[in-house]
Amino acid sequence: MIIREINAMRGPNYWSVRRHKLIVMVLDLEAMEDFPSNKIPGFPERLKKMFPSMYSHRCSEGCEGGFFMRVDEGTWMGHIIEHIALEVQTLAGMDTGFGRTRGYGEKGVYNVVFSYMEESVGRFAAQVAVDICEALIKGEDYDMDDDIQKMRELREADRLGPSTGSIVEEAEARGIPWIRLNKYSLCQLGYGANQKRIQATVTSETSSIGVELACDKEDTKYLLEQAEVEVPRGDIIRRERSLEDACRYVGYPLVIKPVDGNHGRGITVDINNYEDALEAFHQAKESSKNGAIIVEKFIKGQDYRLLVINNKLVAGAIRTPAHVIGDGEQTVDQLIARVNLDPR
């Protein structure tokens, strides 16, 4: 079997106006066009053994076990690959349920269509489904654990961040269509004249000057101080020779970070001596675009992210850095595995 092409639908399309995220794989069955599932000795049994969870696939029969009925009666490999692609995504934690297989217009060539949550995962699942099906046809063993893990990693690399994801989920709940415009967090809500665009918490309604100020810690601190909002004592420096005076002025313990940084890059906290401050200064320099470094007083406390919509606080989250605490017995990997058992 040969995959001719794999395309991703990202909006209303020929296959469905309601399901916007679909993979369309053009698959040439070649010689397998003459061998539906009931003509391959042991194939149905091997498929059921490998994917017992596929019993929930209703298929056109409209009942649990419906897909397995079709396999026993005899169905073509394109249809089976469609269901495998859906199931491997489900096993990787992405439950998708829509699929259909239709003729391409040439003998033995089919459009295999199935839904996806993350495009990179959907494309990968298409190739994996073909590989698994070929192994089942030949009666060969196939270990899909690595494929499942790969799909999970692709999902984590490509999935929307918590802010963008929350906005998109709310849009879906309100029946607002959306599409992703790049591999980062730029998304479009709605279509045509009614469309709006978001990227993380920045929208097409956000003031440009507001974004510029929020990205500059120096200007932000100054404006907050002018408004009599209490901020940690700090100093902005650009050269190493200014560091010692800044440390003396602010007083230990310190935080040192780039003025124009984000996502925690280049930040060192709880600095209690000049040697550590010097190392932190150079780390901050590596992440700074304009070379400006802020030296601030370190204040212990909780870190909160607050969501304000239309000047109203609607949600808050406490931010806890990923960490483990040693017990003198377990390795770091073992400690991480134990922490990850907690569903939170």
Q: Are 286 and 261 within 8 A, CB to CB?
A: no
Whether residue 302 lies inside any domain: the answer is no
Residues 130 and 34 in one domain: yes
Whether residue 219 lies inside any domain: the answer is no
Residue-level pLDDT, tens digit, the chain, 344 residues? 999 999 999 888 899 988 889 999 999 999 999 999 999 999 999 999 999 999 999 888 889 899 999 999 999 999 999 999 999 999 999 988 899 999 999 999 999 999 999 899 999 999 999 999 999 999 999 999 999 999 999 988 888 887 788 888 889 899 898 888 887 789 999 988 989 999 887 888 888 998 888 888 788 888 998 999 988 988 999 999 999 999 999 999 999 999 887 777 889 999 999 999 999 999 999 888 888 899 999 998 888 988 888 899 988 889 887 889 999 999 999 999 998 888 77
Whether residue 116 lies inside any domain: the answer is yes
CA separation for the pair 22, 122 (Å, rounded): 8
Q: What is the DSSP string of 58-118?
A: -GGGTSTTHHHHHHHH---HHHHHHHHHHHHHHHTT-----EEEEE-SSTTEEEEEEE-SS
Residues 46 and 71 in one domain: yes
Give the end of a domain, one of 181, 209, 237.
Answer: 209
Helix 243-250 × helix 274-287 angle, to 10°: 110
Domain limits at 332?
307-339
Q: Are 98 and 20 within 8 A, CB to CB?
A: no
Whether residue 8 lies inside any domain: the answer is yes
Instruction: For strands 21-28 and 202-203, give the pairing.
Output: unpaired
Whether residue 319 lies inside any domain: the answer is yes
DSSP label of 186: E
Helix, strand, or coil here: 244?
helix
Residues 113 and 239 in one domain: no
CA separation for the pair 171, 180 (Å, rounded): 13
Residues 285 and 249 in one domain: yes
Give the end of a domain, one of 150, 176, 209.
Answer: 209
Residues 179 and 73 in one domain: no
Residue 269, pLDDT score? 92
CA separation for the pair 172, 180 (Å, rounded): 13
Please count the structural domains in the chain.
4
Give the end of a domain, one of 143, 158, 173.
Answer: 158
Q: Are 59 and 87 within 8 A, CB to CB?
A: no
Residues 145 and 254 in one domain: no
Residues 80 and 33 in one domain: yes
- pTM score > 0.75 for this model? no
CATH code at position 230: 3.30.1490.20
Whether residue 344 lies inside any domain: the answer is no
Residues 11 and 95 in one domain: yes
Q: Which residue has the tokens 């073992």?
A: 334
CA separation for the pair 270, 298 (Å, rounded): 6
Whether residue 220 lies inside any domain: the answer is no
Residues 151 and 172 in one domain: no
Residues 230 and 125 in one domain: no
Annotate 273-294 with b (16+ C-beta within 10 A) or e (fewer).
eeebbbebbebbbebbeeebbb
Helix, strand, or coil here: 2?
strand
Whether residue 124 lies inside any domain: the answer is yes
Residues 16 and 153 in one domain: yes
CA separation for the pair 184, 196 (Å, rounded): 17
Residues 90 and 177 in one domain: no
